[in-house]
Amino acid sequence: MKNFLRNLKLTWKYTKTQRIKILSFLILNIITIIIGIILPILSANQIIQLTNNSLEQLVYITLVVFGIEVLRNIVDYIARMFMQIIYRETFKEIQIDLGREILKIENKCLDENSSGVFIQRLTSDVGSVAEIFNVLNNHVTRIITNIGILIAIFLINKFALIFIIIMLLLVFLLEKRRLQLYDINDKSVRNKNESAVGFISELIRGARDIKMLNAEKSCINELKNRITDVNEEKYNFLKIDKKWQFFRGMTIDVFDTGIVFLLIYLILNQNLEVAMALVIYNYMGKVIHIVDYLGSLAEHIEDFNNSCERVFNIINEEEFSKEIFGKKHLEKVNGNFEFKDVSFAYKEDEIVLKDLSFKVNAKETVAFVGKTGSGKSTIFNLLCKMYDIKDGKITIDGVDIKELDKDSIRGNITIISQSPYIFNLSIRDNLKLVKQDLTENEMIDACKLACIHDFILTLKDGYDTIVGEGGISLSGGQRQRLAIARAFVQKTEIILLDEATSALDNETQNNIKKAIENLQDKYTILIIAHRLSTIINSDRILYLNDGKIEAEGTHKELLKNCKAYKTLYESEDIKIEN
């Protein structure tokens, strides 16, 4: 109950814009509840008038009952409309906040969890949370209405009421036990479900690769295993649920027979009229639902609490750590930065960078070369504070990045990667993502510089062409050029190119190289390049081996002083000649 109140309070915060509607809704509900209590009492009165042969009174009460029923339907209709709006708006507010908070989660946590964890929470869990007001409304209204029926039974015969209350208590205890088991099983069903949804999302994202690999069979087998796991968990759940429902049904049947005996006994002892006995019997059928409503309310509350735990654990940082930034703000950086004795590991004990130190001056162009896995991309990740370092210090313009706010770091660095993510939006909107007030001229200039303008003009809808999820309708090279255009739009002081031109043909690569060379001396540029030919004009080249800088200098200096670099360069020449 304590959890429920805490969760309700947390959910309540998301109804800020809906408070007037909630108030109106509550007033309408109070009217419904009052009607719910009055109606059974009036109906009992109807029967009393009928058995007393007071026809005039009966007609009068019948008309009143009819009027009240009409009023109830109208009030109910308006209340439902309000409820739908309150539900939708609360859902939206929580979902947006959760989406925002998911984007704040540390990359380390994102790497460790499947997307299913977040998809489930963003969709079905948010639904269960936002639904709580509707659930409370429906159940509380019905429960109170049933209390009205109990009052009506009390007015007719106290013994019958005591009998019915004993039955309700017993059924309630059975229901309580069922709910305890429900809670335990519900949690494990959700965990299994997360794993299945995670795999389904990978299956869809990786569909093209699965086809190319001809791996449909094994992927479907994996899917089958995960869904079977979920189903088995659900069947166990159902078995327990049905067993307890059976006990409950049997108990009700016993009491059903019991009440018939009690009513006959009361009639024979002239304590009850036959008509009243029929009313009580009829009410008993209705009032048993009070246990259903209580049970279902408890079930929904359990569901709500579990979903709240999963949603608010993300929002309130109880399960996944969030990125931490400092408070210092640099509007525009010059572009100097330094790594001082930086050590870093993605996973404990798997050191990727060891006591790495180097300095890059503003407007310098520095290239990183070395074997795959030597830690080049990791340097870029750390500079953007995508991961936190273990030891050492990284500074931008002399300020430790731990002290800087998010905008000072990521707003001043653009990273163009080997496989940039392009969104399923138009080309224009993809570019606008990084600059909302992008003008037509700025957009065209950036695309011309990135050698993609002419290609865009050949598309039917030009800049308004939608490019598909991940930019699937574009070739690898076109995606890279669009990402480069996006970086030209961003125009940050520091530009990181991580194999950014690897998918381009030689001619386009030369064009891009010229565009990048135009940027040289104006921006701080770091380049990781597969082909050394693209970086030989850099001011400096750092040769990285196993997380350490092995040599440093210009292309010519390295050819002279670094054997590994020379070998790498020569092997490339051979490749080019071939």
Comparing CA positions, the residue from 286, 404, 360, 230 lying closest to residue 43 is 286
**416 binds ligand ADP per the rule CB under 6 A:** no
Q: Is 383 exposed, middle or buried (0-12, 13-18, 19+ CB in 10 A)?
A: buried
Determine the Cα–Cα distance for residues 375 and 368; give it in Å rounded to an integer: 10
Helices (H) and strands (E) in the chain, counts: 21, 10
Interface pick for ligand ADP out of 214, 269, 270, 372 (rule CB under 6 A):
372
**352 binds ligand ADP per the rule CB under 6 A:** yes
Q: Select the span of 277-285, 370-378, 421-429, 548-556 touching ligand ADP (CB under 6 A).
A: 370-378
**376 binds ligand ADP per the rule CB under 6 A:** yes
Interface pick for ligand ADP out of 249, 258, 373, 468 (rule CB under 6 A):
373
Q: Of residues 85-124, which lie at the interface with ligand ADP (CB under 6 A)?
A: 111
Determine the Cα–Cα distance for residues 71 and 423; give it in Å rounded to an integer: 52
SS3 (DSSP) at 423: coil
Determine the Cα–Cα distance for residues 294 and 289; give it in Å rounded to an integer: 8
What is the 3-class SS of 164-232, one letter each residue? HHHHHHHHHHHHHHHHHHHHHHHHHHHHHHHHHHHHHHHHHHCHHHHHHCCCHHHHHHHHHHHHHHHHH
Nearest approach in angstroms of CB 378 to ligand ADP is 3
**375 binds ligand ADP per the rule CB under 6 A:** yes
**377 binds ligand ADP per the rule CB under 6 A:** yes
Nearest approach in angstroms of CB 107 to ligand ADP is 7
User: Per-residue x/- mask for ligand ADP, residues 312 to 351, rule CB under 6 A?
Assistant: ----------------------------------xx----
Q: Looking at beta carbons only, is 352 or 482 nearer to ligand ADP?
A: 352
Q: Select the span of 139-147, 199-207, 366-374, 531-539 touching ligand ADP (CB under 6 A).
A: 366-374
Nearest approach in angstroms of CB 564 to ligand ADP is 14
User: Per-residue x/- mask for ligand ADP, residues 378 to 407, rule CB under 6 A?
Assistant: x-----------------------------
Q: Looking at beta carbons only, is 127 or 206 nearer to ligand ADP?
A: 206
* Amino acid type, 144: I
Determine the Cα–Cα distance for residues 401 and 171; give it in Å rounded to an integer: 62
How many residues bind ligand ADP, per CB under 6 A?
12
Q: Is 256 exposed, middle or buried (0-12, 13-18, 19+ CB in 10 A)?
A: middle
CA distances from 455 to 32, 452, 510 (A): 65, 5, 17
Q: Looking at beta carbons only, is 249 or 373 nearer to ligand ADP?
A: 373
Nearest approach in angstroms of CB 205 to ligand ADP is 17
**261 binds ligand ADP per the rule CB under 6 A:** no
Determine the Cα–Cα distance for residues 307 and 123; give it in Å rounded to an integer: 10
Comparing CA positions, the residue from 539, 535, 563 lying closest to residue 551 is 563
Interface pick for ligand ADP out of 90, 157, 374, 508 (rule CB under 6 A):
374
Comparing CA positions, the residue from 12, 4, 10 lying closest to residue 302 is 4
Interface ranges with ligand ADP (CB under 6 A)? 111, 346-347, 352, 370, 372-378
